[in-house]
A = this chain, B = another copy of it.
Amino acid sequence: MISIGILGCGRIGQVHAASLQRLENARVAAVADAFPEAAEKLAAKTGAQVRSADEVIASPDIDAVVIGTPTDTHFDLIEKSAKAGKAIFCEKPVDMSADRIRDLIKIVDAAGVPFLTGFNRRFDSGFATIRERIASGEIGDVELVTILSRDPSPPPVAYIKSSGGLFRDMMIHDFDMARFLLGEEIVRVFATGSALVDPAIGEAGDVDTAVAVLTTASGRICQISNSRRATYGYDQRAEVHGSRGLLKANNVPENNVEIASGAGFCAAPAQHFFLERYAGAYLAEMAHFIACLQSGQAPSPGIRDGLAAQVIADAAATSLVTGVPVDLG
């Protein structure tokens, strides 16, 4: 039985706690949050104890921490947890600064603790299946990857202002997915974007509609497009064109009902947003983390995957401003 301390009892902390309750080999032992009521509420639901974050990290009965606090607290919590020998599950992004992530890699490596970066989409049955089938050779060599992500509606402009911008906040998931599906490191990034959904986003210095083109050393290409708006649900698709075929992960509809009328044949909208669409992925992600702690296998994606996506996001943000592609290391 693995004992877990949840650091941060907001929406994502609650998701991870619920996953832990459904797993046989793990339990939520302690919870911490800057807002005591949030911690108490989650404690009541899970039977966990309320402690401070520092207490959780110092507790000898805690095997691992799940970090779901605001991004600017990650560095400190990761450093302390690593030094205390705790296994770490950290929500993305690990940190807004690639350099600071590089520092964390040294700390985590020195401590030798298991580390999982919360790129939950890798655990979605659709994306996980296409990755496995690519790896099995079913479509031959990967040549061209197309990733489309559209949120149902933009977040508040206040959030946008502190988000690091679309490339670091939203498209970072797609950058990780691109690496996951291409099977090769990105060497060049071109990105562009516009504020078409909400002029206030443009005034805040960000974009809400954006594309990126990523290339690898061997010439594989990935196209990504993002919009902060979609009237038909949470649009999350990827397709991988290979030398012997094409693999697609399609959207997941809200239900399997179809209506036919003069308007044609209409199926349900895509599942509304990430908590629904990725419910299974969050559970599989936590199951993977716990299984790794039990088997001694290193969790994946690890902290270096967190760094790699951040580096691409930084390059995309630069490309947006300079108008030209950015070469990576």
Contacts and interface: CB of A to CB of B under 8 A. Distances in A.
B246 A256 contact: no
- How many chain copies does the complex carry? 4
Interface in A227-259: 227, 229-232, 235, 241, 243-259
Nearest to A244: B231
Interface in A253-282: 253-270
B260 A231 contact: yes
Contacts of A193: 221
Contact of A261 (B125, B139, B225): B139
A272 to B, nearest CB: 11
Nearest to A209: B143
A221 B248 contact: no
A221 B247 contact: no
A167 interface: no
Contacts of A263: 263, 266, 269
A233 B193 CA distance: 33
Nearest to A232: B260
A249 B256 contact: yes
A203 B315 CA distance: 31
A288 interface: no
A139 to B, nearest CB: 7
Contact of A209 (B221, B230, B254): B221
A83 interface: no
A244 B296 CA distance: 43
B248 A219 contact: no
B257 A133 contact: yes
Nearest 9 pairs between A and B by C-beta? A194-B219, A232-B260, A245-B261, A266-B266, A246-B260, A125-B255, A126-B256, A248-B258, A250-B256
25 contacts: A126-B255, A126-B256, A138-B259, A139-B259, A143-B197, A146-B225, A190-B192, A192-B221, A197-B243, A209-B219, A223-B223, A223-B225, A227-B241, A230-B241, A230-B246, A231-B246, A232-B265, A245-B261, A246-B260, A247-B257, A247-B258, A249-B256, A251-B256, A265-B267, A324-B324
